[in-house]
Amino acid sequence: MIEQAKLLRVLQIIRMLRNGQGRTLAQLAQALDCSTRTVRRYLDLLGEVGYLVDERINRRGVFFLFEGEPKQAPFFTAEESALLEQALAGLAAGHPLGAGLRHKLRRTTELIPLADELVDLQRGRMVQQLSTAVLERKQVRLVRYQSADSGTSRDRVVEPVALTEGFEQLNAVEVSSGQLRTYKIRRMEDVVVLDHPCVHPVTEEHLDLFGMSGPTWLPVVLRLTERAYRLLVEENAGARQFTSPDLASGERGYVFRGQLRSYLGIGRFVLGLPTEVRAVEPEAFRVFLREKVARARW
């Protein structure tokens, strides 16, 4: 698992330096949550395997990653190759041209994924492990999970309950606190399935639309512009059943009437669209929003 974590960090460096803007050692270290000395070792490794890493001294040590022009462009993309593979599958098993065509196809295909694709593969593997843990009711360790609230990165042992729609989040019980929480897959560096069985009897009924938990259901009413409505249902398809056209106000918009376990999830959505969403009730939710705005660091 340690080697996989190192590989993921190297791929993240490649992705960050490919955009042409460059990063300093300090910026890379902060993004990867490691020391600048560790980042320097990763950059040296990239140089050893053939990447051209350039440091602009006159720009206070900003690093760039340059990729040489390919010697020969591939004849087929991955999508084209998949289509050709399907066509070749229709040939008879002993067709005299089949073996030669397959050999040429593999020689002229873009088979090596880019850094972004490898990161996606890593996330896919984690989702598969989490799905298995949910079915088998086993605890898992989220390796170096990055918390958006505290800004820290540390391991967390949890008991998976369910993966949300789109496999972007994990609803799980935090073993140390016994509380049901939501964890984003993209903030996990790795996942380790443990041999310990889950001990907290929690069901998805304890979670609201945004994957939040709480002791009671809280009613919330919002007025949304058409754009805000589209963003809401794209982010959470389950919200559609609680939303209807706003006929009473005479405006072109929608009304959301839902029961939630916490103001955190819906609050983040509302604060992200301050001119597109109006909190109608309850007053406690409006107070929650005003307190969040008062603590803003803009």
Q: What is the pLDDT of residues 105-128, one digit of tens each?
A: 554 444 444 555 555 667 778 888
54, with CB counted inside 10 A (0-12, 13-18, 19+), is: exposed
Report the pLDDT value the prediction gives residue 87, as an integer from 0 to 100.
63
Tell me the range of 17-21, 71-75, 198-202 where mean pLDDT is highest.
198-202
Q: Reduced to 3 states, what is the DSSP secondary structure of residue 225?
A: strand
Above 80 in pLDDT, residue 137?
yes
Q: Residue 195 has what pLDDT?
A: 92
The gap from C-alpha 49 to its chain's centroid, in whole angstroms, comes to 28
Scanning the structure block, which residue is given the tokens 């389950």?
238
Phi/psi for 169 (5° steps) reads: -135, 155
Is the per-residue pLDDT at 194 higher than 90? Answer: yes
Q: Does domain 120-206 have CATH number 1.10.20.140?
A: no
* Predicted confidence (pLDDT) at residue 148 exceeds the cutoff of 90: no
The pTM of this model reads 0.43
Structural domain boundaries of the chain? 2-66, 78-107, 120-206, 218-294
Average pLDDT of the residues in 61-74: 60
Find the mean pLDDT for residues 181-195. Answer: 87
Query: Average pLDDT in the 21-40 region?
Result: 82
Write the Ramachandran bin of 146: left for phi over 0, alpha for psi from -120 to 50, otherwise beta: beta
Please give the mean pLDDT across all residues of the chain. Answer: 77
Looking at CATH, the fold of the domain delimited by 218-294 is given as Alpha-Beta Plaits (3.30.70)
The 3-state DSSP class for residue 223 equals strand
What pLDDT does residue 31 have?
80
Least confident span in 20-29, 100-109, 188-197, 281-290: 100-109
**Where does the pLDDT of residue 70 fall: very low under 50, low under 70, confident under 90, or very high at 90 and above?**
very low
Could you tell me the pLDDT band of residue 71, with boundaries at 50, 70 and 90? very low
Whether the domain at 2-66 and the domain at 218-294 fall into the same CATH topology = no
Q: Looking at domain 2-66, does it have CATH number 3.40.50.150?
A: no
pLDDT at residue 225, as a whole number: 92
Nearest to 264 by CA among 256, 272, 276: 272
Structure tokens at 81: 């190759």
Which position has the higher pLDDT, 31 or 18? 31
Task: Say whether pLDDT at 52 is over 60.
Answer: yes
- With 70 as the cut, is the pLDDT of residue 175 above it? yes
- 185 in the Ramachandran plot: left (φ > 0), alpha (ψ -120 to 50) or beta? alpha
Q: What is the pLDDT of residue 149?
A: 64
pLDDT at 111: 41
Structure tokens at 20: 């042409």
CA distance 189 to 145: 6
| pLDDT value of residue 289 | 93
Share of the chain above pLDDT 90, in %: 18
Length of the chain: 298
d(CA 89, CA 35): 51
Query: What DSSP state is assigned to residue 19?
Result: T
Say which residue, 284 or 85, is predicted with more confidence: 284
pLDDT of residue 228: 92
Residue partners of 237: CB distance under 8 A and separation at least 6: 165
DSSP letters of 57-119? GGGTSEEEEE-PPPSS--SB-HHHHHHHHHHHHTS-TT-TTHHHHHHHHHHTB--SPPHHHHH
**Span 177-184, mean pLDDT?**
84
Q: What is the pLDDT of residue 136?
A: 86
Burial (CB count <10 Å: 0-12, 13-18, 19+), residue 243: middle
Interval 254-278: pLDDT, tens: 999 988 888 988 998 999 898 999 9
- Rounded to whole angstroms, the Cα distance separating 9 from 41 reads 11
